[in-house]
Structure 1
Amino acid sequence: MSAAEIPKSTNILVIGGGPAGSYAAAALAREGFEVTLLEREHFPRYHIGESMLPSCRPFMRFIGAEQKVIDYGFCVKVGAALKFNQTKREGYSDFINPDPNKAAWNVVRMIILLVKHRLMPLDKVRAEFDEILLRNASENDVRVCEGVSVNTINFSTKNDKQPVSAEWKSDTGATGEIKFKWLVDASGRNGIMSTKYLKNRKFNTALRSVAFWGYWTGAGMYAPGTSRENATWLEALTDESGWSWFIPLHGGRVSVGIVLKEESSRAKKASLSGPDINAQHYHNQLKLVPGVMKLLAGATFLGEVKSAGDYSYSATGYAGPNYRIAGDAGAFVSITFMSVDGVLKHEQIDPFFSSGVHLAFSSGLSAASSIAASIRGQCSEAEAIKFHTDKTGTSYTRQDGPKLVLSAYRQITSQSVPVLSDIEEDNFDRAFEFIRPIIQGAADTDPTVTEEMLQATMDFCEHALGLTDPEMHEAVASRIDPQLMAEDGPILGPKDVAAIAGGDEETEAVLRRINSRKAVESLVDWQPNFRGESFNGLSIFLERGNLGLRRTPVVA
């Protein structure tokens, strides 16, 4: 749709056509609301690929996009193998057992690179993942306008915290203003509301890493001929300085990357010289991941190494009077990198836990639900604002899993120490089972994952940084009730553990470790209430035609 067709006013304005914006727009339009979406780029746009979570499927099902993604033929992701320790067998997170429909996908969103290397014909480019979501929004009666940037938001003269219109400019030079009653800011990393007006973005520099990656053809695959065939492979470097990813993509391509702590990478590159230090550095690090090298035997490198440095951010709030912030505009873990044409870009790269699209969908749905609830009078706008901020903040904390990432890095850089594996186990399967709600995105989408389980999971992530040994377990067992240490014993919360330990640090460490693995439960389908999770007495009611928030029944 051209700039000339941008209306003077709309009921709901969505800024940004990425996964969060496209999702929120489609969800609202399917409820019969008038929605206009302004996207500064013309799709397909340059964007790095991503290994998705199974949780993305029910999100897409609700807006009618799941079958479109299935039909496109992206590379199916049946699970992920993780080799954190070169002396142990790799662990495995199975996405399809017992339900094959829980498979996810590795989606390619690197449009320019694919066309450049003639790996995808031009007539297929427009079917890529972000494109599917944006076109799905359009097919659901969202007025989609591409090539249109929003640089200024105007606020009500009666309430200077309530946005009422946006000034836009198209890439053809046309300008204008569009009035609205409701705003969804899904403007990505730029986050116009957070950065320009609210100024409430906070950066987290605890995990400063750098990534180097490239694309290959003709590589092997993990576990051919088994139910795990062609799964994603993640592996720690033998020198304990970082880790690597091997992600199969459709069309016979794979993405292979190396992630190092920033200071370690800098030290390794110091001795290199020549016209392409990054390429030398990348191939040197690949020699430190024997599992990846085995998979790349006979493969052809496509000839370009991309580099990146990461950062993460969040906001102190994600909503206000008649506006919601969703996706990258509010909180994200992202990567800075050089694009193919040499222009500096900022995009997400999250091969470790692949939470980016999940967070975009979750916050997009929360934004749509809370707006619908306010319009329909299901709650006050103040209640809807608080719900969206709490829901988005909670999802970000769970899915980003900073404590889990820290414990994973601890294991990678201290491979002889049992950080994630149980004592004397030969792999990390038990740990991966335990943290599966985060790895698979079930924390937000699975009703069987209880609040107690989620709290226990986060406790595990935190206390995996602490260490215990067999002697410590034996000593603690001699001075507390043995049932508390039994596998079928009660699950203890943090307060209970602290009370039992009574200040005994060894007892507390052992009990926390034991309880960290007791919250495993099989994962089943999504339910219509978006896990039924309640914030301040409200939960999302996920039913087409009645999307919104409902009061949580009070249990006597």
Structure 2
Amino acid sequence: MKVLVIGGGPAGSTAATAMAQAGLDVQLIESAHFPRYHVGESLTPSCRVVLDVIGVSKILDDYGFVKKNGGVIHWDDDQWTFDWHMQSGVQSWQVDRSEFDTLLLEHARQNGVSVTTGVTGRSVQFADGRPVAVECFRDDGESSTVDDFDFLIDATGRNGLLSARHFGNREPLSNLRNVGVWGYWTGARLLPETPTGGINIISSPEGWYWVIPMAGGRMSIGYVTTKDAFARDRREHPSSDELYRHLVAVSPTVAGLTAGAEFLGGTRVETDYSYIADQFCGPGYAIVGDAACFLDPLLSTGVHLALYSALTAAACVASMDRGEVSETEALRFFEFAYRRAYMRLFALVSIMYERYLGKDGFFLTSDRLIGDEQSGKAEEGVSSRSFAEIIGGLSDLREAAHSSTRVITDQLRVEAVRAQMRSVRAPDSVGPDFTPVRGNPLSDAESADYRLVTSPQLGLERVREARP
């Protein structure tokens, strides 16, 4: 089978590498020339698990990125620490994305992927419901057509070649319309209780801050707030740099962490509007990473969702190629697994923004979201274990690999999640109560007919006979 991947970010590179390692003929086109700047520097431990599968973790360990064990959250009046390395024995990284993304793309090339940069996918042509050609243009202005493929992976990020531009079915989530502003420092500090290399997340009355340790003694410090609050504050300051310095100064905690530190300038601003497409796949194609959905950066889940969807898509295509599953079965599994992962994280992020629950409420909600209401109970009170597992992306990988797609289909648990989601809908939101999973096969038990396996080869493994 010949596969065309459009987009060379983490999702595209990972999917391409995994499929090439499975013996498929993979071509990847990317509009940018790497290295190129990108935000999203704090990786979850699930990223290491996925990158172990494609054999690139050792390269990242040796490169010199900061190794991340966990983090600290100061949220309103609550404070708690999570340490994935202590809990699960897994470390991740704090990365410069320009370097991280370049390493992944080069790893794809070294594993047999035909990589071409400076080529942008402009439109997709369909015949009988399947993509058959992609119209492209090059940096030099020349147009071209790529039509030698059997399956298409759309990894075009927020540009969303299929979801946003072709189908027009990507819906914004009205309760997460935020803006991020950030910059870099030297000489800044982390909260003293931070696990080695960990992230700090610090709330404010109208948003929250991140503090991320980077290689070379730098610190990435950012602030996320609503678009209305940002617009109001921006009018009161002559430049983005002035606004950013003001926002750092008004937080006693963040001001303390930057006392005596040097701001390196060059403030960056980006809208972080969350969205989700009505469908993540169809005959002959799958949409991975930000091209399908994007979630507010509160829990640093962007690269997790990218790599998780990429590995899942690659497993589906590899099993299709070997004749182990039909395309319909494989795509049903992909849609279910990726949408469920996004839905669960969306529920947790939304509830945290509502601020009506304390940390024990977050932890109990996390137990329900992974169907583990009992394990969160500890003698000394409610445990953060489920919360840490969800934000680390580990629950998604565990369920996909252990045929646990059945867990979330239990009607009581589905209704519990629905109740949580109804409570966090923004007043001006429209549509069904459970907008983020419109069209989602949440109760489609057929999705549990398979599980994702990585050994002896990447693919899907049947765990029960399909029903008629």
TM value normalised by structure 2: 0.82
Deviations 1:77-130 (A, max 9, x none): 1111011135x5x2111121145x412111112x5xxxxxxxxxxxxxxxx100
Question: CA shift at 1:35, angstroms?
Answer: 0.7
* Aligned partners of 1:403 and 1:462 also within 8 Å: no
1:292 corresponds to: 254
Rounded Cα–Cα distance in structure 1 between residues aligned with 2:408 and 2:149: 41
Is it true that 1:281 corresponds to 2:243 in the alignment? yes
Is it true that 1:185 corresponds to 2:174 in the alignment? no
Q: Does the C-alpha gap of structure 1 residues 283 and 415 become closer, same or farther in structure 2, counting only changes over 3 Å?
A: farther
Q: Does the C-alpha gap of structure 1 residues 407 and 42 become closer, same or farther in structure 2, counting only changes over 3 Å?
A: same
1:140 corresponds to: 111
Question: RMSD in angstroms over aligned alpha carbons?
Answer: 3.1
Of the three residues 201, 219, 228, the one matched with 1:234 is 201
Question: CA shift at 1:535, angstroms?
Answer: 1.3
| Alignment-mate amino acid for residue 539 of structure 1 | R
Is it true that 1:537 corresponds to 2:449 in the alignment? yes
| Alignment-mate amino acid for residue 97 of structure 1 | M
* Equivalent position SS for 1:543: coil
Is it true that 1:446 corresponds to 2:398 in the alignment? yes
Is it true that 1:380 corresponds to 2:326 in the alignment? yes
Q: Does the C-alpha gap of structure 1 residues 140 and 93 become closer, same or farther in structure 2, counting only changes over 3 Å?
A: same
| Alignment-mate amino acid for residue 103 of structure 1 | Q
1:324 corresponds to: 286
Rounded Cα–Cα distance in structure 1 between residues aligned with 2:165 and 2:84: 41
1:255 corresponds to: 220
Of the three residues 460, 463, 466, the one matched with 1:549 is 460
Superposed counterparts of 1:99-498, under 5 Å: 99=88, 101-109=89-97, 111=98, 128-156=99-127, 159=128, 161-178=129-146, 179-223=148-192, 228-237=195-204, 240-270=205-235, 272-273=236-237, 275-276=238-239, 278-333=240-295, 350=297, 352-398=298-344, 401-411=345-355, 420=362, 430=382, 432-446=384-398, 452=407, 459=416, 463=420
1:511 corresponds to: none
Identity %: 35
Question: CA shift at 1:44, angstroms?
Answer: 0.7
Rounded Cα–Cα distance in structure 2 between residues aligned with 1:242 and 1:236: 6
Rounded Cα–Cα distance in structure 2 between residues aligned with 1:314 and 1:211: 19
* Aligned partners of 2:360 and 2:382 also within 8 Å: no
Q: Does the C-alpha gap of structure 1 residues 76 and 38 become closer, same or farther in structure 2, counting only changes over 3 Å?
A: same
Rounded Cα–Cα distance in structure 1 between residues aligned with 2:316 and 2:384: 34
| Alignment-mate amino acid for residue 288 of structure 2 | A
Give the gaps of 5 or more residues in structure 2: 365-379, 424-444
* Aligned partners of 2:450 and 2:464 also within 8 Å: no
* Aligned partners of 2:308 and 2:397 also within 8 Å: no
TM value normalised by structure 1: 0.70
Question: CA shift at 1:265, angstroms?
Answer: 3.4
Deviations 1:341-366 (A, max 9, x none): xxxxxxxxx2x211111111111112
* Aligned partners of 2:351 and 2:357 also within 8 Å: no
Q: Does the C-alpha gap of structure 1 residues 106 and 365 become closer, same or farther in structure 2, counting only changes over 3 Å?
A: same
* Aligned partners of 2:47 and 2:304 also within 8 Å: yes
* Equivalent position SS for 1:263: helix
| Alignment-mate amino acid for residue 434 of structure 1 | S
* Aligned partners of 2:67 and 2:196 also within 8 Å: no
* Aligned partners of 1:154 and 1:163 also within 8 Å: yes
| Alignment-mate amino acid for residue 392 of structure 1 | Y
Superposed counterparts of 1:78-97, under 5 Å: 78-86=69-77, 88=78, 90-97=79-86
Rounded Cα–Cα distance in structure 2 between residues aligned with 1:323 and 1:464: 30
Q: Does the C-alpha gap of structure 1 residues 75 and 313 become closer, same or farther in structure 2, counting only changes over 3 Å?
A: same
* Aligned partners of 2:40 and 2:300 also within 8 Å: no
Question: CA shift at 1:416, angstroms?
Answer: 8.8
Question: CA shift at 1:547, angstroms?
Answer: 2.6
Looking at CA atoms only, which structure, 1 or 2, has the larger radius of gyration? Answer: 1
1:488 corresponds to: none
* Equivalent position SS for 1:45: coil
Question: CA shift at 1:229, angstroms?
Answer: 3.8
Deviations 1:226-258 (A, max 9, x none): x82442111122xx2222111111110011112
* Aligned partners of 2:31 and 2:117 also within 8 Å: yes
Rounded Cα–Cα distance in structure 2 between residues aligned with 1:190 and 1:181: 23
| Alignment-mate amino acid for residue 390 of structure 1 | F
Question: CA shift at 1:30, angstroms?
Answer: 0.5
More helix by share: 2
| Alignment-mate amino acid for residue 198 of structure 1 | F
Question: CA shift at 1:415, angstroms?
Answer: 9.3
Q: Does the C-alpha gap of structure 1 residues 382 and 21 become closer, same or farther in structure 2, counting only changes over 3 Å?
A: same
Q: Does the C-alpha gap of structure 1 residues 245 and 133 become closer, same or farther in structure 2, counting only changes over 3 Å?
A: same
Superposed counterparts of 1:25-64, under 5 Å: 25-64=16-55
* Aligned partners of 2:44 and 2:393 also within 8 Å: yes
Rounded Cα–Cα distance in structure 1 between residues aligned with 2:414 and 2:217: 36
1:69 corresponds to: 60
Q: Does the C-alpha gap of structure 1 residues 57 and 373 become closer, same or farther in structure 2, counting only changes over 3 Å?
A: same
Rounded Cα–Cα distance in structure 1 between residues aligned with 2:19 and 2:299: 29
